[in-house]
Structure 1
Amino acid sequence: MGNTSFTIEEVRILSDIIKCIYDPALTLSEFTEVFMAKLKSLIYFDKSDFMFFRYNNDTKKYEMESFRPVNWSTEEINNYVTTYMHNDDVLPILSQRQCIAFRNSDLFSMRERRETKYFQEFASGASLEISIDANIPLPEDCDTIAILGLFRTNEKVEFREKDLEIVKCLQPYLSDRMKEEFCPDSKQAALTVPEKTSSESGQEESWMLDNIETLGLCSYDASANMLSNNASFSAFAKAYHPSIKDSIFTRKITSCVKKLLQDTSLCTLGPIPIHIEDDTYMVQLAYNDSTHTKITAAVYYISDVFTKRLTALKEEFSLSNREFEIIFLSLKRSLTNSEIAKELYISEATVKRHIYTVYQKMGISNQKQLFRKLQIL
């Protein structure tokens, strides 16, 4: 899933959406309504739809099986289904069996697209120009094609890259659900959804977000005992020791949990950098609810993206090479001002002056704000 990062609250909402996807008590109609309402708390959109259709090889046209639009007018629905879906330029792209998701502006030349008949006669008036479109892959022996569309009115800003990554995260789970709805007799898998993984303690709490390789999740009780973790957390920990419990990675996360438990005035803590050998992680913690009986920790591996993001800040705020070097040593290696001075053979006062200059250029006053500038968490 690229290098997109999520807050604790976003992780909770994603997990809640995935639980909704697998809720057998919800009919398809109920599910699509609940899903869109929950998704809107993560991604703002004005219109949306689930669309299920077939391609007729004889007529060379698409045939709608089920259309689940949100905030479409009756006229727009009728015009699209009867006439314009056959001219919709995203349908051939989304009719593939592998996962495809994109923002319209990333795929099309918007200047050329605005000149098409489909856009001029329908999409423009229906405010479908700003969109995220994604397919929901179903088994190859299933004739149904399933897609998800999110739309913003033309005067709104473009969807974020993060919005697209959220949709990509949900694709395999939606495939799982829609296979049961439209292809229950298929013997083929739609997509492989990663297994839910618990910690070595054998607790039953499960984590749904195991298809985000850079996101480690774990849960602790109020005594700083780990209750559960997902597959990514397990991989992080086992990189340093075969046992999750005995790994230096887990011990450092537990230490952060204890800091949060010790300060009763806090509900969240982080982002906090963790350095192990040549690796750098960021951890953010939060209580699950007002009872303060359970803590969730989200951990990101950032060594592979840290330098790239810091370099981007260097360009954006015109940092000098020396300023960049000092900030890099401070953040990446957690060196003190004194240690940086020795490393670079300069005075500690010079280090402090450079850090002050960096903060002034960025309009911040402390290291925590700098981490947020990096958009790590």
Structure 2
Amino acid sequence: MSTTPSKTPQAIRGTQDIFGTDAEAFAHVVETFERIRRLYRFRRVEMPVFEKTEVFSRSIGETTDVVSKEMYSFEDRGGESLTLRPEFTAGLARAYLTDGWKQFAPLKVATHGPLFRYERPQKGRYRQFHQIDAELIGSPEPLADVELLVMADHLLKDLGISDGVTLQLNTLGDVASRDAWRAALIDYFRGHKAELSEDSQDRLERNPLRILDSKDPRDKVFVGDAPKIDAFLSAEAQDFFAAVTAGLDAAGVAYERAPSLVRGLDYYRHTAFEFVTTRLGAQGTVLGGGRYDGLMESLGGPATPAVGWAAGIERLAMLVADAGTLTEAPLTVVLAVEDDAALNYAQKVVTALRFQGLDAEMVATGSARKRFDKAVKMGAKVLVSFGVQDGVPTANLRAAEPTAEYLAVEQVLQSVHP
């Protein structure tokens, strides 16, 4: 009977295993986000990894690339269509309508975790990727937009990656402003339809705003002369955007106006924004979001104002790593067990040290004669060697000088006995 050598399974294309310094940068992003969201009093929520497909098809839009090309959808055993979440906002909106969260409005929530989209993998983007997300639901005030933007700016600064990152800001106006602008764009682009890209020709009648965001050189020729939203803003929409920019000025958050920054879906209103950089190649968005006052209605709920943003953790982690601001902290304590008879005593000590908040490693395997040398090479701030004297386990504390760490270890040793 012949046997065929087994082949080691490979990772799925477009997924990643995160380890070492990459994993530390990833964790640093999440930990910083968690600290910042607490400062701004955003409640932590956990969301399902999959939802009913209609949650995304109704909220993101049947005609978008995400729904038509990128979603991972499947039928479960009961024949119901389910989808791995491609973003957080739709699920959060569904929960707001179905889980009684309306009683907490205005509700500030934050979450993070994996998302799934079938798309071409590229630098910083994978088919399974991770995002942090913050939403403020139930507030129609421009102050809500300001708070989220200040929070995002604060996060990037605390991560040490704000240099070279620019906040691009635009307004989409209220419903009347947007509808008037949309009609003007359709009329303008109809005059150039034959010269537009195939995608933009298809979008012209259904979603002309997306032509403004096209990366195709054939479209960019005409985008510069396209009608601008400012010509169609109502007085109320002008006042709203002025309040947002005034709030950013007061908070010291720098921004630049980006008239071509749009959101194609009809439920977006007023503020749209992206933090962008040139340090990530063609895909330069670091964090993006906007106000989506019409989303709840698209899901069958009442009109509910809301604004939010999301950012890819992998991209933020890449910027953190490139900035070189994240370094591994040196080991605080290493314990060298030079006699196995002292192992249990050393185990008591290392456990006590960790409970006191001191990181510690124990060298207790391999040749007993080489353990001390191995411990020295680990470069800890404090070294404790364990042996046996007159049949009693002993601990010898070694350090160049009585630092704060030395004194903390000394205190633990005084409280733990063989």
TM-score by length of 2: 0.24
Look at both structures and tell me which one has the larger radius of gyration over its CA atoms: 2
**Bigger relative contact order, structure 1 or 2, given CA contacts below 8 A and separation 6+?**
2
TM-score by length of 1: 0.26
